[in-house]
Structures are given as C-alpha cells and as structure tokens.
Copies of this chain bind each other. A is one copy, B any other.
C-alpha cells in the first residue's frame, strides 16, 4: 500500500516513519494492551499525526499484527538459538530462556490470550496464535523434550508431565512475574541464605525441576 503515490517522499524517510510507528506501537501495546492504546497515542509517541497511521497500516488491528510479526520473529530466533545449545544443561538453557523472556518486554501471556479471544477478528486470532506457538511455545517445548530424551527429566509415563504442559507452566509463571508488581516486589525481597534464591528466576526453575517436597514423589507407580 505505501509508496504508490506520485508525491511520495524518498524510500528511506517513509521506511523510517513506518519503523518509528511500529516501535511506538510495540511499546504501548505491550505496556497497556490493545484496547487501552489509542491510535492517537501511537501517533504522538512516533511524532506523526494520527491519520498518517492509516497510510502505513490498514487499521489498528493490522498495526497490532505487524508489531507481533516483527517481535515474534526476533524472539523465535533467540529462543531457537538457546534451545539448540546441546552443550548446555537443561537448567542452564531454561535459565537463558527465562532471562530472554524477561528482558524482551513481552506482555503478560494471560493478557495476550485475552486480547486474542475478545479483541481480534477470527482470522487475526488464528494468525497471532500461530505466531505465538511457533516462536515461543515450540522452541521451549523442544528443550523439555530434549530433557526427557536425555533422561534428565522424567517421561510422562514415569511420573513426569508432557513437555507442552511444562512449557505453559514456565511461560505463565514467568509472565505473571513480569506483569504483577505484587509478585515482582515480593521476589525482590527474597534475600535468602541460598545463592540461587537471590535470583527469582533460578528459584522458579528450581521448583519446576526439583519440586518443593522433602521426599521424592510417592505417587503410585504409573504402570499399575
């Protein structure tokens, strides 16, 4: 749609503006959510007038999609790279995953799914869901699969859980960690006597791997 007009500015300028809009929209959508961000807020944050957004993007929903397309591509590359480091242990790879997720200012996963269900058109919903699965869920799941394969993690039929469920537990805990001031503040206070406990990320991974119970699990064996 852009650059088919006779009085168009040089390509660089137009591209630059488009990128400024995407960047501003990214920050605002992640901070406030789809509905709370107005097109006028995006325009002001990117230094243009509001109707210009509709020269670069068909509508607000499309702008939201383009933001996610760009960000998920970056996240996918980073997470697949971490997942592929077979030389590193499972805890190390998980730590790097969580570290990346926190550093990328992703919004809360619950809010993302909420927006998917309630604010997006059906085809947009399907596209965004696919982007999320490919870029976030798949790489992390492959780490858990690797853990089961190498015997570090229990297989689902040996008292373990499905890799996909493990991924969702990790993602939901970490995204709540970033989203809720309450939880984040709580974790900052935790200056325990143990080294890893000063780092909430390590504490969470520690629980997912080794649990909280004193004794190893005493559930009835699976092949009963």
Contact = CB atoms under 8 A, between A and B. Distances in A.
A159 B35 contact: no
Interface residues of A, number: 71
Given A109-B110, A209-B212, A36 B35 contact: yes
A154 B204 CA distance: 14
A161 interface: yes
A203 B175 CA distance: 20
A210 B207 contact: no
Contacts of A195: 220
A197 B223 CA distance: 13
A15 to B, nearest CB: 32
Contacts of A193: 156-157, 222-223
A142 interface: no
Nearest to A223: B193
Interface of A: 32-33, 35-36, 108-111, 113-114, 117-119, 129, 132-133, 144, 147, 151-154, 156-157, 159-162, 164-166, 168-169, 171-173, 175-177, 179-183, 186-187, 190, 192-197, 200, 203-204, 206-214, 216-217, 219-220, 222-223
